Amino acid sequence: MAVCVAVIAKENYPLFIKTIPTDNELKFYYTVHTSLDVVEEKISSVGKNTNDMRELYLGLLYPTEDYKVYGYVTNTKVKFVIIMESSNTNLRDNEIRSMFRKLHGAYSDMLCNPFYTPGENITSRSFEEVVLAMMQQD
């Protein structure tokens, strides 16, 4: 159900983008790119409100006609963006949360690999597997 999963570095360049095979992958790239503004906004606003405990999950960033975009920011300001089909109405917020948590876990696992330099594009197979599983099963 997730049609696109993106990991974006702190400096807002993409580390990893995986989309379902489609003719129009670029559309997702744009969508993700657009979402960064919202993420930025949310981060700054959240930072003001509660500076101590930040909620990593940003919730629904914005909906489009066909998709809903959800965001998540790690403590190191790495952003995760997941685009879901909005046709899927029975999707609960908790499920999105758990997806992000899973993604975050996979990401941090991958970071544990000393042969990965933070900031590089993510080529880890295991990470990709997690993402693919997310896109298929959900």
Partner 1 sequence: MDLSEKEQQVYGELFQTCNSDGSGRISSMKAMDFLITSGIHQDILSQIHELCAQCGLPLKLESLNSGKEMPLPQFTKSNEQGEFPIILLQIRSNLQCAGQLPPPPKKSHTRSLSGHNRSESLQQYSSQSMTNSREETSPMDSKSPQFSPKQSPPSSPAVITVMPNLVPTPVSPGAGGGGSNVPPPQTAGHVGTGAYVNPGLTTDWLSFEDEEHHGLLGTGPKKAYEAVEPVGVDSSSMSSDPESVDDVWTITDEQRMYYMNQFKTMQPDLSGVIVGSVAKEFFEKSKLPLKELSKIWQLSDLNRDGALSVEEFCIAMHLVVLRRYDIELPDHLPFSLMPYATLTNDEPFAADLAPGSTLRRLSPSDTPPAVNQPSSQSLPVSQAQWIAEFNQESQAAASDVLSPPMKPVNFEFQTPVAVDPDSKIIHPVPMRVAQDNPPVSGERFDRGRAFSDPSSIEASELPTSPSFAGKPRSNTEFFPDNSQNDISSTNKISNVPLHGRPRPVSLKYKPVPGVTGPLLIPLSITSQGFESGDKPPFTIVDSVQGPEPPVPPPRQHQHVRRWSEELKGLHPPPAVPPRMSPKEGPSPRKALEGGMFADFKAFPSHDESNEIVSEAESQMPNTDNADGLVIPSADVKKATETSETADTATEEVFTQSTDLVKLSTNIQERLEGAENVEEELDSVEQPKPQTVSFPVSYTSKDKRDLQMRLRTHRERNSALMRLNSELNQELQEVMEQRIALEINLEHLRPFSM
* Interface with partner 1 (CB under 8 A): 102, 105-106, 109, 111-116, 123-127, 129-130
- Decide whether 53 or 112 has the Cβ nearer to partner 1: 112
Distance between CA atoms of residues 4 and 41, nearest Å: 21
**Nearest residue to 5 via CA among 75, 102, 93:** 102
- Decide whether 57 or 116 has the Cβ nearer to partner 1: 116
CB of 119 to partner 1, least distance (A): 14
Question: Terminal CA-to-CA distance of the chain, rounded, Å?
Answer: 5
- Decide whether 105 or 119 has the Cβ nearer to partner 1: 105
CB of 33 to partner 1, least distance (A): 28
CB of 100 to partner 1, least distance (A): 13
- Decide whether 6 or 106 has the Cβ nearer to partner 1: 106
CB of 116 to partner 1, least distance (A): 6
Three-state SS for 127?
helix
Distance between CA atoms of residues 14 and 6, nearest Å: 7
E strand or H helix that includes residue 72 = strand 67-73
